[in-house]
Structure formats: C-alpha cells, structure tokens
Structure 1
Amino acid sequence: MHIAAVASLILSLVGNPSYGNPVSRDFADTFADPAVIRGLDGYWYSYGTSDPLREGEGEHHRLPIARSSDLVEWTYVGDAFGEGDLPSYADPSTLLWAPDVRYLDGRYVMYFTVTNSASTPHEWDYSIGAATAPTPAGPWTPAPEPVVAPRPSGGAYWNTIDPAQFTDVDGGKYLYFGGFFGGLWVTELSADGLQPVGRPTQVAVDNKFEGSYVVRRDGYYYLLASSANCCAGPTTGYSVLAGRATSPLGPFTDREGRPLLASRAGGTPVLTQNGNRWIGTGHNAQLTDLAGQDWMVYHAIDRSDPFLDEPYGVNERPMLLDRLDWIDGWPVVRAGAGPSDHSSERPVTRGPVDERFSGDLSGWRDTGGWAVHGGYARHTGGEQATLTSRKGLGGDRRAETDLRLSAARPGDAAGLRIGAATAVVSGSGLTVAAGGDRRTAALPGGAATWRNLAVTVEGRTITAEVTSARLGDPQAAVSLDSPVPLSGAFGLVAKGTAEFDNVSAARLAKPVTRMAPAPEPGRKLDADEFGTLDRAWRWVRENPAARVAGGALRWPVQDGDLVGTGNTASVLLRTPPRGDYIVETKVTLDLGEGTVRNHQQAGLVAYASDDDFARLSQVAIWNTRQVEYGRELPFADRLSYGGNIAGAPAKTTWLRLAHHVDRETGEHEFRAGSSRDGRTWTWAGVWTFGKDTSPRIGLVAHGGAQPAVEAAFDYVRFYRTR
C-alpha cells in the first residue's frame, strides 16, 4: 500500500482529526479556480488556473495538476500543457483559465478557457477549449477546434469563460459557460462532449455571475455561480450564489423565487466571507466523500497577503476545502458559517471497508469465479456469485464501488449487496431489490464503461445512485423502502464478466440541518424616524438638497462618489452605540430595470474616513440592480476597492449592518444584510476595520445625477444584537 494511503487510513481510524486551510499550501501559494475529480486509481486530482504556483517563481503553469489520497494533503504532479502543446487554434500568448475535468465514456475530458485565439486580432477573444486523456494526470491531447468559439459583441468579445460540464439522467451532455460580460449560458453537447449542439440558452443575467457549476439533487438542477470581483486584492468580495430549476436549461430561481435572469437578479448565498482572514471566497467545485458528505473546494484570498509577488500583481488565491451542507433544499457551506481557517472534521476518504485490490482476496469470502486481475476484483462466469467482506458494518452506512461489465450480455449484472438487499447495474439499468420488492431506473449508455455505484442505507430506506465520476450528476438513481431490515454482510455481486475497484463502506454522515445563527436585532438603542433631522447627525460635505419631508429623509442622488481620490459625495454620519449592534434603514430608490444607470445608489455606510469605508447600497450596475457591499481601504500606497453582493433589491429595500468587535483581534466586523419586504433577510459577507479605528454609521445617495432620481430613507434604527 502507498505510504500516503497508509497515512490516510490511520487518520480515518483515529477519528478524522482537524486540518487547516488552505489545503494547497504544500505545493502552491496560489491555485485559483480549482476543479476536482476522483480518478479510477483511487486518488483525488485537482486542477487550477494558469499562474505561477509559488512566490518568486515568475513562470505560469499551464493548468497545474495536484493529487491527494485524503483531499487534505496534496502533491503537485505536473501541468496539463507544456510550452509546445497548446491547442492549434490558440494564440501563443494565450492564458488558460478555469479547468473543469470529467470522466466521459471511458476517458477524461478537460474543459478550459482560452483567452486569446489565433483566428482574430483581438487580444481577449475568449473561447472554451477541451482536451482528452486516458488518466486524470494526462497526457492531455487538445481537441482540434474549440467547443465554444469566440463570440463577438461589437468591437469586443463576450466572456466565453469558466466552463462546467454536466451529464443528465437521460445521458444528455451540457456545458455551462460565461461571465460578467454576456451572462451565463448552457449549450448541449455531442455524445463525445467535444462539440456544441443547437443554439445555447442563457441561464443567468450578465454583469453579475461567472464560474458556473451545476449539480442535480432531489429532482432539481442547482446552478452555483460566483458573483462580484475575483481579484481586487485586499478588497476582493467574490462569493458563491445559487439558483435551481427543474431542467438543466433553466429557468433558475433562488430560494425566494427571484430569477437569475432578471435585472434585479436573485441568488441564494452559498459561501461568503465571515470576518476571518479569508475574503473573495469563490469559483467552486464540489465532491462527495465516502460517508456521503458533500464538500466544496474553492479559492480565497488571505486579506493580509493578497498578492503573489508584489502589490497589484497576481492575486494570491490558494485552494480551500470546507463542508457543504444541504439545508431546506439549498446548498450552503458550513451551515452558513463561511470559510474555515481550521476545521475540526475532515473528509472521510477511507472507511472500515476499503479495498483497492492491490493484493489478494484474503479479506473477502469468495463464492466462486473471483480473482484479482490487473488491480481489479474480476468475476467471470455465467452464475451469480458474491464476494463478501470479512469486515462487518451495521447501522446507517454508505457503500460504493467503481465497476464495469466487460461483455454486458443479456442477464449480466454487477453491483453491491448489503444484507438481503442488492443494487446492481445491467443492460436493463440500475435495479434495487430488497425483500421481494424491486425498482429499476434506466441507465443511459449501459454499463460497459467504468461507472461509480454508491448505495446509502438509512433505517429501512436504501438508495442507489450511478454516476460517471461522483460529481453530482447521477445518470440513474433508485430509492426503495425495504420490507426487511437492511442489516447483514456487505459484498460485491456479479453475474457474467465484471470488474470492481475502489470498494468502500463507511458510516453514513449525519447531515447538518440547522443554519448557523444569523444576526438578530434585540432592544432598540437609538433611532431617527425622520420627523426632523436629528441633531446627532453630522455632514461630510453637506448636501443642501437633502431634506426631511413627509416622514422621510429625501435625498436627490448626487453626481459624485466616494470611491477613489475624488471624494465628491456627501455623507451623513452619526456615532453608533458601543459594543455589538445592528443598524437598519429602509430606503426607496426607483432605479428602473434593465437600463444602464451607472452607478446610482443609496444606502448605509460604515465610515472611518473618505478612504476607509464599507458601503451597503442598492445600486445600478450596468443593466442589473444589485445590493452591493463595497469596501475601500488604503493598501500599498494606493486605494483598493471591491464589492460583495448582499441580495437582490426591490424599489424599497431594507438594509442592515451588524457590528461586532472581535475579542481576539479588536477588529470591527460589519456583516451586511438586505431584505425586499422587511421580514425575510439575506445575509452576506463581512468587511473588517482595524482595531485602532472608530467607524461611524452614515447614509449616502450618489453615483450619478442622470436621470434625476431621489432616495427616500424612512428611518435609521440601532438595536442591540441578541
């Protein structure tokens, strides 16, 4: 057994001790846009965007590859492409970004962004390329043509970037791609996954999303995508949002029913920064461990070390790993707690039963026809036979194996046995049988190529799922409530010629079902209901057009801004209460929909100075309307600005900032929340201020005077945090 495999087994037996983020630290200082897959050799492989891996290295790796036996300790194994083997249609100056790797019909397929094509003189004529390989580490052979060619738009090209492949239950293959300039799209693919079929369909509005990733769960298709900016150094506000649909083509809507295609586009938060050192948490992929727990890999930025070599150079974005929960039908990282610096749990990558068939069958009871052949357990013969593990495992559990039927003759089948129940694949599909009951689902493409079969047992419910590579795209799934107890021995079952590898059985992970606590207002501490303008307010650059009338502060949106060195916008400030508090306002601002009105906005601000603030406002960003939580601060003799997305606004939007002082660091943490009705709140990211600052709370209304529009603030209220 490999040394790393032995170490992983020991760790699993002593109770999954903690690990620290980033998990890419052993081989890379930066490893952006990570993808992940488990290979047929039992190792996990990750793939990153083309950057230098280490400080001071200077040379870009073209889609670097790393390998791990436990998802925590990773080793660099090489690059997908060298100097002389770029795709033939790529310009020699091209960058390769954002890989996605799948196992399709017996080979590995890598999709990636090609930033510069040789077919046009434009420098950023993005396209989606593909390459194939016999193993997850390569060698990779580029396809002769892009999967999605450059898409012109006037004098520029749409952001045809960030591919993610998905295979549906009917065997149909899809590719999601796109970015802020042009939106997110999906195209159907040919059977080999290398050519588009038909016209693409837009699934999310432009100027809000990039970094697509799609999984299917409980009959829904979930589109996870990143929003805001990936690469603004110490003010990077990237985060992951989700929508779901009943078709891979959409339409996708968020938890509140807001379409991802609307001008006021929705998006349910999945992952965002929480006030620790990690900001810019985004561009995700996901996986399932051997206990059935989902995990997310993503990149993030250490706010104290945001650049690789020098300020405002390559953003340093290492790979992080955290638990992905499903609560009330929606994915969320760590129940909403955000990125971890240290985790008290790690993925289960080896169970009490864990067999790679590198030796003999001494740990198994053989009823005939079984042998180890070429690193697999192989069964030959026309009669059904079982290979039973000598290790028992009761209770709720999960078992899985990679398998294939070499001949796939009528009546041949291969699968798993748990007690009196079986789950097998055959030419007829996936069949689960227990106590005389039986259910079958069609399996597109048959069982002659390698597939993964995973079976979970919860009480008397047995669920089986077949995937190509365990990436959230089941091609067949069957669930059965067994009339008999699902206890007894675990083993492999086969009739005909079948091969098995990577067999495991582990205790089923206990799902997290409750969200982490969100800020809640308690006792009211202070307020201005705007009968008049309270004397506690102080102006920075007073705006005489702002006035109190009709029970609201009415403020014509100014042609000014706080971002940058100009600092022409007015700010209305007051001193907040001491300690932890929540400040809330209700603001009405008619920004219309769909038209370009950059960057009219109104909302709250946590303000230390003109060059050190966090601004929460509903804002027009090109054709979209968003709740942006922006941060400006001085860094390396410049001003850095970036945003985090805090929900979808309405014409009237409720905004909150929840203030907390970190007891260890003394930093001021401000978490943003927004609501479209004053009752249901979307909580977003955290921006921090230094312990030596005293941020005040204020109101702003600026960003452009045309067309003329007025913001109306109904109140500002401070509450003690519960």
Structure 2
Amino acid sequence: MKKCVYAVCALLWAGCTASRSASDSSKDREQKETVQIDSLAPNPFIRHLYTADPSAHVWADGRLYVYASHDIDPPRGCDLMDQYHVFSTDDMVHWTDHGEILRASQVPWGRKEGGFMWAPDCAYKDGTYYFYFPHPSGTYTNDSWKIGVATSKEPAANFTVQGYIEGLDPIIDPCVFVDDDGQAYLYQGGGGTCKGGRLKDNMMEIDGTMQSMEGLVDFHEATWVHKYNGKYYLSYSDNHNPGQEGVEGYNRMRYAVSDHPLGPWKYMGIYMGGSDCFTNHGSIVEYKGEWFAFYHSIALSGNPALRSVCVDRLYYNPDGTIRMVERRK
C-alpha cells in the first residue's frame, strides 16, 4: 500500500552569510538566481524506514524517482539488506513511498538464505523500465555476485525478474547510463575495480566486452554516470578513512570526466566530504533546471548498518567542475 511521506518542515535554501568573502557572496547570488525549487525536505528525507544507495532518475511523467536499497532493522552488518523500495516527488518536499518492488525470495537464481540485495539502479528504454540489482547466487558471496534484471511497464511497481547479465565478473554496484542517442552502457564497481561496457538493445546482454575505466583515482565503489554540457561525468566513492589528510569521515565522493561514456577519464577531484558511516553511495541528477546530489548517512540511527537517504543541491563552476556539496544537517 502506498504511503505518502510528508516532511515535517521545509528548509529554505541558504543564501549568503556575512562571514563570507565578497567573491563567495557574488557566487551565492548567482546560485540564487538559478533556484527553481524553493524548498527541500529535511535530511534524511525518508524517515519511516532505513534506506541507502539512492539511484535518482527523472522519468517522462515529470516526477523524480529514487530507487533505494533497504537496511533491515535490527541489522547484521549488510547481510540482511533486502526489499527494494521506490520513492518519488514532484516538489522535493513531499515524498511518496510506492512500496516494495523486489525482494531476494523473488530471485529464482538467488542466494537461498536471502538478503544481500545491495545498491541498485534503474533505466528506461522503449516503454520498459529495467531494474538492475546485485545479488549472489551462492552462500559464498564474493565469487557469486550477479547483476540481475527485473522489468516493468511502470516506474515503481510490478517488476518481474527476467534473469541476469551473463559473462560479467562478480562485481557489485550496477549503474546504467542511457546516452542521448539511445545507446545504453552498464558499469560495475567494487573492491577498487570499475568496469564498463555497451549494452545490447535488449538491455540484458553486453555488446562486446567490459573494459576497465582508466584514469580514476582511489576508486572504491558506487559508480554513477551522468552527462552535463556534452561531457560525461563518472562519480564514485573513495577509500578514505577518518584522519587521513587531516579530514574526518569515511568515504568521500570523487569524480572524473570524459568525452566518451567509456573513457578514458580525467580525474577532477572530490565533490563531497567524508561520510558519517563506513560507506557512501551517490547519484547526481537534474530536476526542473537544478542539479542535486543524493547520498546516504546515519543521521537518524547513528548505526553504520542503518542508513538513510539524503539530498542536497549540486553546483557546477563555469568551467564544468563541480563545487563541493554543502550537506544540510
């Protein structure tokens, strides 16, 4: 049953502060001029269950959808993660929980003990929504991960598992990017390895072979690809630990750019500081003329195995670089 999640209050976008320099204040005024969405729901914006790994997309109906993994409470590390949910909004304040769309018990080739439904993604092509999810086919997960595919004619309901993409290395964190010409690309990332390749028109087979994404610095996992001003951006989480380089927090979010969706990539830097839990997983999307960075935190639970999805505004500099995201508390 659908449950409408209403934010208890809306935070107005923060403008300039007196303590900033004249240059910073000028930049803030420029940002204010681009604001089309006045308010955002408080972070975390989903509060009735624990969610992580937000994959954000805007579909033809004009709504922004977030496909999220689900941390089961009480947790057992990340072992019990299961039951993917979809949330959507048309104003960035009021979010609708469309309910569960898939669980491990519905995966015919899946791990008999269940769980291990980690970071997903979704893509749309020719009237069909394709939901991609990592799941192991055996008790020992490291060498049996597969990328499953479920399809639906709706963005947030009635998904049916069709199988998995054959011939892939056992790597987690699928990301699917559909370019302007309709060509789709699959990416995987985990354990310091990032690979990408072209998908066939059926969206379930690799056209050729997967190749290593060259040029990334300190890659850990959580690949996400988007396009801005004709350039391809690959963002990901790094291997940062508290205290390294004098910076607190765990995984930071980094990015690289390329003229081609499969690279080679030019490393550009960090766009989000250290996370408050052992992982971070982000997505970047444009909605109503503005850009947003999604991620997760443990602001509600204080437990690194019980995460909650969050969102903040993202800004580009005139040269196409991404400014550091200012996370709202």
1:178 aligns with 2:189: yes
Residues 67 and 270 of structure 1: CA distance in aligned 2, closer, same or farther (over 3 Å): same
Deviations 1:466-515 (A, max 9, x none): xxxxxxxxxxxxxxxxxxxxxxxxxxxxxxxxxxxxxxxxxxxxxxxxxx
Cα drift, residue 11 of structure 1: 11
Matching residue of 1:63: 84
- Among candidates 281, 287, 302, match of residue 306 of structure 1: 302
Larger RCO, structures 1/2 (Cα 8 Å, 6+ apart): 2
Deviations 1:28-61 (A, max 9, x none): 2x21101122344444322212422x56899754
Residues 169 and 69 of structure 1: CA distance in aligned 2, closer, same or farther (over 3 Å): closer
Q: How does 1:314-713 map to 2 (within 5 A)?
A: 315-332=305-322, 335-336=323-324, 338-341=326-329
Residues 196 and 135 of structure 1: CA distance in aligned 2, closer, same or farther (over 3 Å): same
Residues 229 and 17 of structure 1: CA distance in aligned 2, closer, same or farther (over 3 Å): same
1:188 aligns with 2:209: no
Cα drift, residue 305 of structure 1: 4.5
Matching residue of 2:18: none
How far apart are the structure 2 equivalents of 1:101 and 1:173?
Answer: 12
- Among candidates 143, 152, 155, match of residue 136 of structure 1: 155
Amino acid at match of 2:267: D
Cα drift, residue 185 of structure 1: 0.4
Matching residue of 2:19: none
Contact 1:126–1:150 under 8 Å retained in 2: no
Contact 1:281–1:339 under 8 Å retained in 2: no
How far apart are the structure 2 equivalents of 1:70 and 1:15?
Answer: 7
Deviations 1:623-652 (A, max 9, x none): xxxxxxxxxxxxxxxxxxxxxxxxxxxxxx
Contact 1:133–1:139 under 8 Å retained in 2: yes
Residues 285 and 83 of structure 1: CA distance in aligned 2, closer, same or farther (over 3 Å): closer
Residues 230 and 148 of structure 1: CA distance in aligned 2, closer, same or farther (over 3 Å): farther
Amino acid at match of 1:178: G
Matching residue of 1:123: 141
Contact 1:180–1:206 under 8 Å retained in 2: no
Query: Which protein shows a greater Rg?
Result: 1
1:75 aligns with 2:99: no
Deviations 1:345-385 (A, max 9, x none): xxxxxxxxxxxxxxxxxxxxxxxxxxxxxxxxxxxxxxxxx
Structure having the higher strand fraction is: 1
How far apart are the structure 1 equivalents of 2:263 and 2:228?
Answer: 15
1:21 aligns with 2:43: yes
1:240 aligns with 2:230: no
SS of 1:80 mapped into structure 2:
strand
TM-score (norm 2): 0.76
Cα drift, residue 15 of structure 1: 8.0
How far apart are the structure 1 equivalents of 2:278 and 2:271?
Answer: 13
Residues 36 and 228 of structure 1: CA distance in aligned 2, closer, same or farther (over 3 Å): same
Cα drift, residue 100 of structure 1: 0.7
SS of 2:118 mapped into structure 1:
strand
Can you give the 5+ residue segments of structure 1 that lack an aligned partner in the other structure? 152-157, 256-267, 308-313, 342-722
SS of 2:306 mapped into structure 1:
coil
How far apart are the structure 1 equivalents of 2:112 and 2:39?
Answer: 46
Amino acid at match of 1:85: Q
SS of 1:32 mapped into structure 2:
strand
TM-score (norm 1): 0.37
- The count of residues paired between Structure 1 and Structure 2 equals 289
Amino acid at match of 1:254: Y
Contact 1:273–1:339 under 8 Å retained in 2: no
Cα drift, residue 322 of structure 1: 0.5
Contact 1:271–1:281 under 8 Å retained in 2: no
Contact 1:36–1:46 under 8 Å retained in 2: yes
Matching residue of 1:36: 56
How far apart are the structure 1 equivalents of 2:60 and 2:37?
Answer: 26
Contact 2:39–2:93 under 8 Å retained in 1: no
Amino acid at match of 2:250: G
How far apart are the structure 1 equivalents of 2:279 and 2:41?
Answer: 18
1:297 aligns with 2:294: yes
Contact 1:179–1:210 under 8 Å retained in 2: yes
Cα drift, residue 76 of structure 1: 2.6
SS of 1:326 mapped into structure 2:
coil
Contact 1:270–1:331 under 8 Å retained in 2: no
Can you give the 5+ residue segments of structure 2 that lack an aligned partner in the other structure? 13-35, 243-247
Cα drift, residue 18 of structure 1: 5.6
Contact 1:214–1:223 under 8 Å retained in 2: yes
How far apart are the structure 1 equivalents of 2:176 and 2:75?
Answer: 34
Contact 1:244–1:253 under 8 Å retained in 2: yes
Residues 127 and 83 of structure 1: CA distance in aligned 2, closer, same or farther (over 3 Å): closer
How far apart are the structure 2 equivalents of 1:281 and 1:70?
Answer: 28
Q: Among the aligned pairs, what percent are the same residue?
A: 25
Amino acid at match of 1:288: E
Contact 1:273–1:280 under 8 Å retained in 2: no
1:283 aligns with 2:294: no
Residues 331 and 110 of structure 1: CA distance in aligned 2, closer, same or farther (over 3 Å): farther
Residues 227 and 11 of structure 1: CA distance in aligned 2, closer, same or farther (over 3 Å): closer
Contact 1:61–1:79 under 8 Å retained in 2: no
Matching residue of 1:200: 210
Contact 2:54–2:66 under 8 Å retained in 1: yes
